[in-house]
Structure 1
């Protein structure tokens, strides 16, 4: 009878072919866990034996070294005594030869004590010169370096050090005797004195030798006892460890035997409960076991399937390529063949399976062979129904690349396709202009959302996307890239054909209407058409230019087509240039590449000078410093900053840097002092309700005298943001600040607003002042503004006073102040006054 319970893999021999490759690693690990105490015991005992021999060898090296040292110093003293009596040069040479032995040992010891193991090469050479045995030198160095701080070796070295001073005195005495011999023959009294000193030193050295030998003997005996104790202690510890480990192994074995009895029952319960379909076959592919999940997946029971071939019940779905035998069945046959060859690494694949009820499922199949000493005998197949997972994956993949509302390609996928096309054009012989891109923006779409609601807006977007799809060719790519923005990629399309398609879309968009209740809703469309040609080589550049082209279409009155050819049109290039300035401005703010300049404002009368405070009257201006050191005028980057909303950040930078500089000047009492410093505020900043809090905070933080500050606002900005301007002027004038209305006369509606703005200075627009000597009308306007300002108790400042003649004419007209090249050119703030260089940040 076949088995109806899950098999438990077994192996009867240790050299079983496929199973061995699974079982042996576990057995090896188990063997290592069993014998590791024995291995540890052998290793520890071996290391201890080697260490003991090494230590004893080092002690033996001390003993043999001492004998050479003792012999050398004795030979030296004997030779020196003979030299003192006879004056024989050969005796003197023998003295040095004998003394060289202990002195070499002494220098080696001092070097090791001072430098440690780093001095081993030099110390080994010195010890070799001290007649120490070459094979014992390393042990001698090792013991000296690593055990010098122990009691035993420390005392041994201390006794060795006792001989240092007598040896040095002996060497000094030899030098004195030699020097006296060279001057005159010694007298008997001198000889007697020398012999006495030599004898005394010999006695000291002998005493040091005896002390060293005693400590050496005591140390050797103590170390011998210590090594015996360590060996015995480690042996006892390892024996205890071995006994404890054996006891733990016995307990572990008993627990394993108890747990093994539950394996079969647990395996049956687990396989029946899990959601994976598990099927076991023999080597021929006949079913031996299958769990409940496998019965549900295949649509048959185990009793119906047992002993039959598994491949007969694995049917490919009708949509799968090939016949039944060439589909799922063929794959199962391949899996069985792999299992028979003992390929233990699981393989996984996903295929479509049709069960007995003809339900199509996507199944992931994995298999593992089971074998014994003969070969593979069984195979376990695990089938996991991944139909729902695969459906989710396909849905997520679609959602990642498509817009949910319209079903069109989304921005991410459109950019990817555009990037692929741009990359292909770099490597193909495609003629320039063979591709184009459209960027479409619905006109007045916000009105539909605001008046009819977002549901109506969504309906309009779906209607527009359907219209766009009808207007395109096969192979063109339509994408929704924003709220009411679409993009179209036209491949292999001349620019003239692209213009024709764009006009067709524009005309068709006028006929798109949706009925929303009683209302009929429609929306125009602005189209930016861009030819994909140099220098547009990146996705970012193409989309940026296409967006600008769409903006250009709106600027021309909406419901228009703006066709941009990079080789002809220059208007988009201007937009691109402005965007480049935007990036430069942001980089300058982040990297500190802005700096401050200042231009003098000259009083044209004594009264005006006193009103200004009697000191320097200046206007602070901003400049941009390029990496090469060139200075850029604000005329080049301020328009881009105003257009793209960067002026509030620029204004705040100017205020912070100016107040920081003024605070430094006021604290250090720099001369000449600044009595009036004008700072420009843009219209965008003037409309910011948080500007007042910022200015008050900066003034308080830097401790600047508010009476030295004068904020300049243009008449256009003041009129546009009149409530904010009035609130700002009144609040800061209460602190003591002054205000100046800049570019007065450039507008036509500001005269009636002056009475509402209590400014202190009225700056006449420079365009009027510049040619007042040649244009009587301009001169009359300057005179009229001057009288108006004085009537309102304001002081007047004339800009663009570029020549001395203009300055004198202004003085004659009663203008209070002049500003221009005839008065002073803008200079770095640090050059205008004695201010720190920190106002120009690099």
Structure 2
């Protein structure tokens, strides 16, 4: 039996010419563009080219270009792809310019291509061993392609060569149809691809055995049926039915090559990934007689392609993204930030005790620990965040569209979860903590490596500060100014404590609705009288420095002492407030000395201390739940209530309310200001109210500044409201005198404070 024409061509004992493959100077084809895009993605290079060497015209012609456009062709003696093809060996060049391979003055090399410095190319080899071109990847930045990536590039080149041969099979099959129908039958039955022929109306006229097997239809059953009844591919991604290649071919009267990934469901329910092409059948006069449809199973090929892509971007141990993919995503975020702005953040996480466990228990155990840590971190970050294992026991998180405060909350949550986590091996429990460097990702950064270096430095600072904590990076100049400013405030605070220049203000808290509770409810507020200009300085200006230099607890003692004195005087004059709230810093929660100090004041108090309520911010409470729970229990034993301030500002879970003895939830103002205009805020406040009712505590809404907001709070069932709409802060003594005047027309002893005259 004679060999089919196209098989004789592809598997000839004589050298095969590109002209006979009918691919030179052909139009772009999606499949080859997909291969160059895959090569660029897998190798981490911005440019990939599929070049075919045309010895007749001494040129390299580019079948597909990814990352560049308009190259078309160039002289072979100027092309590294041509050199690779002629040598028949893979070629990797770290810096083309350094080797002097760049022609002087570009020498005919297109400008965009002349700018490429890193090059890696592999020969394009047909099944008979002949090299017809090269597949290469390029980068304007110098760098060497690794051995694994080069291996992937060779596999993609093999796929491209196979596609060129299959393409030739389609074209030469059509030629064979023109020559002999008998030869056609022999040819189509002998190839491994499925073949269906139709008439000019798109009805099935013939199928080969492979097509019968893949579709589940026999030739005698399918003859005369519309081709869609036998062969109907669907889009692999969307699941939708696209335009049928046979119908497209009949309309355009030219060959049609499949583009998007498609799947075929057979008559008996089997499915497979396919690639197809359709070509018109003309007679010698040019009359259209029908269409030949060729398709084959690419399920395994696509699986390997997806696996290669996954391996190129993921860490094999943890399944997280790897360092290369993390760097690429960070570069893209930086580019978008420089172009359009935006607020992003990066966490650099380093495990603190990993080496001890790894050395003590062995590397397999260490690997299992890393897998568990990866899963734990995945539970802490938001959907859509990029979590990667950067290497060893280091992890990175890229938080897109995330402000620095939210990023701090996420980082703190990681620390808390790590604090609770225990790794169990052979009945032994190991504690593993994490040090985290936090860096804002904004326009200040020129490159991704600069961000990573800053994050690494911040992580190191977290370790130096005691481990299992978050360190926020500051620019060197910003750090200096920030540190100098805080030191300046530290000196001023010391002087203010010595000279008694702190002052107490207060703001009323009003009951909402028909509550019978009409006594004094207020929150005591701290101010600092500036010694230079006499102005009142709000706490947000100086408290960060107080906490930085561990002065917050001393200031809290001053505030508590003054409130006890003023309430004792008010009680002696006949005033019985309902509730007076005092703000405390997080440092006071964990200070046992402060607990004892308050206990001493309670024993000597000249008023009912059950009117007191200590306010603790939610962030401070959940940062150290154990200390917070111990403090709250101790204060409640003394008769003092506890309010959780800024509720909702940093909570990812309200489970901690089960372990914290709280009397009041003060809803953070960010949910109150736009209550009348924001449906999400309304739903959130309603949720907070429900939580408060479940745990049996009172609710207070902060930052009430509009009548409509107050009305909605009443409808929601919130108990109390606080804000400028109801009362602007005034000196605490003035407020107490007003209450005394209203109750019994009594006055307190005058105090040397502004507004007391």
Q: TM-score range by the shorter chain?
A: 0.3 to 0.5
Higher helix share: 1
TM-score (norm 1): 0.34
Higher relative contact order (CA 8 A, sep 6+): 1
Higher strand proportion (structure 1 or 2): 2
**TM-score, scaled to structure 2:** 0.38
